[in-house]
Structure 1
């Protein structure tokens, strides 16, 4: 890493604050969702840090993410893979790896292949069309469980993208199915995601499943003032040049760019090769507590219109204002933060 390379700095203090706040808020243990490289925060560092501070359960989307956690060789943690696992050896060879069962046929296949039900979380789908056993199959599920006297590691559902009335309805339906299937057949029960944690108590659940909110990334309409953001993307100014001396800025002719009154352009070592999308052209950076526009993004570098106050070596922050960034990019924060790839170092501070 060069001195002027960009880093994602993650606040240990803020993550730990959020972790303890959410546990107390719902009085339940946490399943930390760390898929997509912990939403851009760095899966290895986050898992190590949270496990050292008492977190037992971690959830990922894919086998490759589970393998990253396994490589850390941390004892006494459990990893839940949220999507269907194709290669079942990862389950059979690691008793602390669990899998969410995403259809009735998947369940039959897993039982037929000899996967232990102590590694399975049954997921119920109440109409979101993502993953889970559909309501029309609930009777078959109940019949199978009773006939084989099955007990599972967990029962879960997902409540994302629902208004409050839908959330309450799902909570009630999930509670009813839990009672019908038998609470004693499931060691842990979880239904909320980050938005759901803020909206629904989940009083019959044993755990809350938190991803973005754990890192201080809150959804519009689901805001808790006590939650603290933990992510900061910053680096240094690599070079500053006079625009009058240039014909091109990056790969663009300067007359094709909206330069306005600015006379100087600064270069930073961050580009779309790092996962910093060209759609971010026009977004504001922060240098010396002032806002400056990013005018052009190439694969390995970006260029910022600056004034005489900006010097080589000055610190520059990207995505300082998440709401402003969301409005500019027209996508949620967890999308553009997760896109920043491993060329950018993650650092717990």
Structure 2
């Protein structure tokens, strides 16, 4: 018997269906984004499953993640884009990682590592098309492109990609995506004028892949959609898109009891029973990633019963109300809409956040379990 009171069931078939659905939405190749421990689903598990389904490109934010991922996927193409000045990029080159360069210091650090190791650095040139975050500004790109062309001619760098990130792709009517695509095309021209022609162009993440076909280019980078969560459920719910939740979060009830009317529940008694009530304890809390804002607003499913959270979510447990609840029964917090369950997006709507945060914040005390 497991010593874990809770678990996240991670569905192999749901991931496969989502990959198939995303492939059906584009003629571009997929780059599976598996950063943040595959959005809380488990890096090794998800990466291996996606590779078995024919995905060749993978992306992770941080260099340490990319080095870990390389151990699981010896031959996949892996892009990483967050490293700071002075990071040991010789490790990245030794591991055959693709590196993003979007600033003069990053380009200099990559050049230094390539010369030190004698290995050609594979780079993706990042351009800022409207996020005001990472990447070369268009005004600075001609000088960078000239330097990149020199490094490519010398064999120090191989320009694999040109890429950027969309700010408002989850709002198809904003007009910002069309503006950013035009800036991206301008960047492409600047590189071409310097004699730099990347192997692949990639601009779209999940929302772009689903709702902006003109941004697809050679690669699309689905992240949250891989896991069966909508980039914006106000535009389309996951089930409307044809996506299945890969994670089902559940826990076994810890205790149950009858309490009279007028009884305060959990810290600060933010809920007081209005009548005789039957309460039970779910052994999950904010230390496990359950939003404290779910207090008194979210529900869980126990069998066919919908059981509301009563009182404050604590560090490692919270209280629910329902008829006939008993210790050992399974409470499901969220899962797939097609199973009639609350979804991560439902929890996000109730707690003033996004589905991305609901799944990716689930803590390491929650055991991940392979599911069909």
| TM-score, structure 1 as length reference | 0.89
Moved more, 107-116 or 212-221: 107-116
Residue 366 of structure 2 is aligned to residue 339 of structure 1: no
Residue 184 of structure 2 is aligned to residue 174 of structure 1: yes
Match of 2:314 in 1: 298
Instruction: Compare relative contact order (CA 8 Å, sep 6+) and give the higher one, 1 or 2.
Output: 1
Written as runs of structure 1 = structure 2, the 5 A alignment for 1:92-241 is 92-95=93-96, 97-114=97-114, 118-148=121-151, 149=153, 151-162=158-169, 163-164=171-172, 165-182=175-192, 185-202=197-214, 205-220=217-232, 221-223=234-236, 225-241=241-257
Moved more, 86-95 or 48-57: 86-95
Written as runs of structure 1 = structure 2, the 5 A alignment for 1:256-335 is 256-282=270-296, 283-295=298-310, 296-307=312-323, 309-319=324-334, 320-335=342-357
Match of 1:89 in 2: 90
Residue 42 of structure 2 is aligned to residue 23 of structure 1: no
Residue pair 1:59, 1:80 contacting (<8 A) in 2 also: yes
Cα offsets for 1:102-142 (capped at 9, x unmatched): 31332133223426554211111012111111111122123
Cα offsets for 1:171-195 (capped at 9, x unmatched): 2331342244239732222110111
- The CA distance in 1 between the partners of 2:106 and 2:235, in whole Å, is 33
Moved more, 179-188 or 241-250: 241-250
Q: 1:189 to 1:144 in 2, by over 3 A?
A: same
Match of 1:39 in 2: 39
Cα offsets for 1:303-324 (capped at 9, x unmatched): 11222x3223222111323343
- The CA distance in 2 between the partners of 1:159 and 1:257, in whole Å, is 42
- Shift, 1:344, TM fit: 0.6
SS in 2 for 1:31: strand
- The CA distance in 2 between the partners of 1:160 and 1:210, in whole Å, is 15
Moved more, 272-281 or 230-239: 272-281
- The CA distance in 2 between the partners of 1:137 and 1:154, in whole Å, is 18
SS in 2 for 1:125: coil
Match of 1:8 in 2: 8
Match of 2:337 in 1: none
- The CA distance in 2 between the partners of 1:314 and 1:219, in whole Å, is 33
Q: 1:118 to 1:67 in 2, by over 3 A?
A: closer
- The CA distance in 2 between the partners of 1:79 and 1:145, in whole Å, is 21
- The CA distance in 1 between the partners of 2:242 and 2:196, in whole Å, is 35
- Shift, 1:157, TM fit: 0.7
- The CA distance in 2 between the partners of 1:261 and 1:101, in whole Å, is 62
- The CA distance in 2 between the partners of 1:265 and 1:248, in whole Å, is 12
| TM-score, structure 2 as length reference | 0.84
SS in 1 for 2:82: coil
Q: 1:194 to 1:222 in 2, by over 3 A?
A: farther
- The CA distance in 1 between the partners of 2:276 and 2:134, in whole Å, is 51
Residue pair 1:285, 1:292 contacting (<8 A) in 2 also: yes
Moved more, 159-168 or 287-296: 159-168
SS in 2 for 1:82: strand
Moved more, 338-347 or 3-12: 3-12
* Structure 1 alignment gaps of length 5 or more: none
- Shift, 1:88, TM fit: 1.4
- The CA distance in 2 between the partners of 1:290 and 1:277, in whole Å, is 22
- Shift, 1:253, TM fit: 6.2
- Shift, 1:71, TM fit: 3.6
Residue pair 1:151, 1:185 contacting (<8 A) in 2 also: no
Name the Cα RMSD after superposition: 2.6
